[in-house]
Copies of this chain bind each other. A is one copy, B any other.
Amino acid sequence: MEAPSPPLAVGWKQKAYSVIFESDTSAGRAFDIGLLIAILLSVLVVMLESVRSINAQYGPYLRAVEWLFTGLFIVEYIARLLVVRRPLTYALSLLGIIDFLAIAPTLVSLVLVGSQYLIVIRTLRLLRVFRIFKLGRFVGEGEFIVLALKASRFKILVFLTAVLTLVVVIGTMMYVVEGGQNGFTSIPKSIYWAIVTLTTVGYGDISPVTVLGQTLASVLMILGYAIIAVPTGIVSAQMATPSKAAPMYKQVICHVCQATEHNPEAEYCWRCGEKL
C-alpha cells in the first residue's frame, strides 16, 4: 500500500487544490460553504422558474441568475480539472459527471429549445452537500448508516423480491376480482394500486368497491402493516450489532471521488489514486 512520494504540484496549484477539494483550511471551508449556497440558490431559481405566476413576472431575471450560476459552475469545473492530479479520473468519476451535467442543460438550451427538461440533473449537485460535512462526526455517522445498509443489502433484496412478488400476485388478483372496473383497468394499474396500498400510502385515486375486493385489500393492508417490521428489524438488528468493519478504515472521504473505506495508513485513494 506504500506508494512512492508524489511529485509535488506547483505552489498555486496545490493551494487551489486545497481550497477547491479540501475543507481543512479556512479558505477551503469558505469555498465549500459558498458552493453549497450557490447550489441551493441555483436549484431554488430553477424551482421558482417552474412556478407559472413567478415565471410570468420575474422570468428574465431568473434566467439571468441561472446563467450567472452556470457561469460560476463552469469556472469551478475548469478549475477542478486544472488542479486535480488526474483530470480524466475526476472527469469520469460520479461527481465529475454530475458536475459536468449540472452545467450542460443551460448550454444546450441555447441550441435546442425545450432542453430545460435536462435541468433536473442539476438537483443532483446537492449531493455535494455531504462533501462539506466530510470532516468531524458526519463522516462516521453517515458511514455508519451506509455500512449498516450495505451489510443488510442481501436481506433487503430478498425482502424487496418477496414484496414485489406479493404485489404482482395480489395486483393481478384484484384486476380479476374487480373485473377491470373501479380504476383497476389493467394489471399494471392494479399492481400500481397494490404498491400504493402495501406501502400504506393510500392515495385513494383507485380503491376497491366490491366486497371481495375490499376483503382482499384488507388482507394486503394488514400484510403491509405487519411486514414493515421486516426491513426495520433487519436494519435495527444490524445497527445494534457492534460493527467490526468500521473502525478498521481511515475516517476520510476522498476529495475527488468521495470513496470511503480507506486503509488506515492509506495516503492515496484506492479508487482514483488521488492524495487523501
A228 within 8 A of B: yes
Closest chain-B Cβ to A43's Cβ sits at a distance in Å of 7
Chain A window 225-253, contacts with chain B (Cβ cutoff 8 Å), 1 for yes, 0 for no: 11011111111111111000000000000
Which A140-176 residues have C-beta < 8 A from chain B? 141-142, 144-145, 148-149, 154-161, 163, 165, 168-169, 172-173, 175-176
Copies in the complex: 4
Please give the distance in Å from A83's CB to the nearest CB on chain B: 27
Q: Does A203 contact B (CB under 8 A)?
A: yes
Q: Which of A8-16, A86-94, A186-194, A260-268 sits within the interface?
A: A186-194
B188 touches A126 (CB 8 A): no
Q: Which of A25-33, A61-69, A116-124 contacts B (4 or more CB under 8 A)?
A: A116-124
The A interface, classified by DSSP as helix, strand, loop or mixed, is helix
A148–B157 Cα distance when bound, in Å, is 16
B198:A225 contact, CB within 8 angstroms: yes
| Alpha-carbon gap, A226 to B232, bound state (A) | 8
B145, B187, B211, B240: the one within 8 Å of A230 (CB) = B145
A51 interface hit (Cβ, 8 Å):
yes
Q: Does any Cβ of B come within 8 Å of A214's Cβ?
A: yes
Instruction: Kindly identify which residue among B117, B141, B225 contacts A176, using a CB–CB cutoff of 8 Å.
Output: B117
Contact of A158 among B123, B138, B197, B205 (CB under 8 A): B138
Known: A51-B186, A123-B172, A126-B168. 6 other contacts (CB 8 A): A47-B187, A141-B158, A196-B202, A201-B221, A228-B232, A240-B241
